[in-house]
Structure 1
Amino acid sequence: MKYDVINTPNAPQAIGTYSQAIKAGNTVFLSGQIPLVPETMQLCQGDMRAHVHQVFKNLQAVAQAAGGDLKDIVKLTVFLTDLTHFPLVNEIMAEYFQLPYPARAVVGVATLPKGVGVEMDAIMVLA
């Protein structure tokens, strides 16, 4: 199957052996995003609220580069190092998504890259 590599300067560049996203047919697989600021590749300033917002902005930038938007995400996976932030993720997610919400999993993990507290990846289907 032919696939396209999605890359945008509006989201953090890959910090490992992966692509920002891969588009296969009308399905786009968005790699995990952490709260890096694309222009500096440094962690965004602020608390967990700021970090969750940055992750959604990064996902949105990659989704748009692939020809879609957050509304096209059908599956979202959230990785948290502290599950007490679960309500905060719900609150902020409601600012970026509207009904019908994508399918979602929230997974508690011991650590994430660069010591961050949140990472998200997604699957998007384009019309």
Structure 2
Amino acid sequence: MKEIITTPRAPEAVGPYAQAVRHGNTLYLSGQLAMNPDTGLFERESVARQTRRCMENIKAVLEAAGSSMANLLSCTVFLSSMDHFDAFNDVYASYFPDHPPARITVASAGIFDGLDVEIAAVAALD
């Protein structure tokens, strides 16, 4: 059975999608952008800042579902340019000191509102 997961600690869905959907022991997280859920504003200062905000939003959704970053199975990362890869990767790596998830990283010219980073994820639930 499908269960919708929401938390005020991550940006609200602004369209016909959920922050995350649980099915069985798997959690599918929608793409997270660099929106601060407390202010409703995008954190655009740098690719590093955008990446950190995306990861914190993912962490909040995982926690709302009773999971954690350690249970991430895979991430799909969209960057506005592969020129941002090193700045993104430095921050991303800090969230996974051991056993990082599988990942695909692609350049995408169409990230919402001219942002540079979007990250979707799939996680296991205990």
What TM-score bracket applies, with the shorter chain setting the length? over 0.9
Amino acid at match of 1:86: F
1:78-89 residue pairs with structure 2 within 5 A?
78-89=77-88
Distance 1:85 1:105 in 2: 15
Aligned equivalent of 1:16: 15
Number of residue pairs matched? Answer: 126
1:2-13 residue pairs with structure 2 within 5 A?
2-13=1-12
Conserved 8 A contact 2:47-2:88: no
- Give, in angstroms, the shift of residue 89 of structure 1: 1.8
Distance 1:13 1:114 in 2: 16
Given the two structures, how large is their TM-score scaled by the length of structure 1?
0.95
Q: SS at the partner of 1:105? A: strand
Q: SS at the partner of 2:84? A: helix
- Give, in angstroms, the shift of residue 115 of structure 1: 1.4
Percentage of matched positions with identical amino acids: 36
Q: SS at the partner of 1:42? A: coil
- Give, in angstroms, the shift of residue 45 of structure 1: 4.8
Structure 2 gaps of 5+ residues are none
Q: SS at the partner of 1:37? A: coil
Q: SS at the partner of 1:111? A: coil
Conserved 8 A contact 2:77-2:120: yes
Distance 2:15 2:125 in 1: 26
Conserved 8 A contact 1:111-1:117: no
Aligned equivalent of 2:69: 70
Deviations 1:34-62 (A, max 9, x none): 00010222102521111111010001000
Q: What RMSD over aligned residues (CA atoms) do the two structures have, in Å?
A: 1.0
Given the two structures, how large is their TM-score scaled by the length of structure 2?
0.95
Aligned equivalent of 1:111: 110
Q: SS at the partner of 1:92? A: helix
Q: SS at the partner of 1:86? A: helix
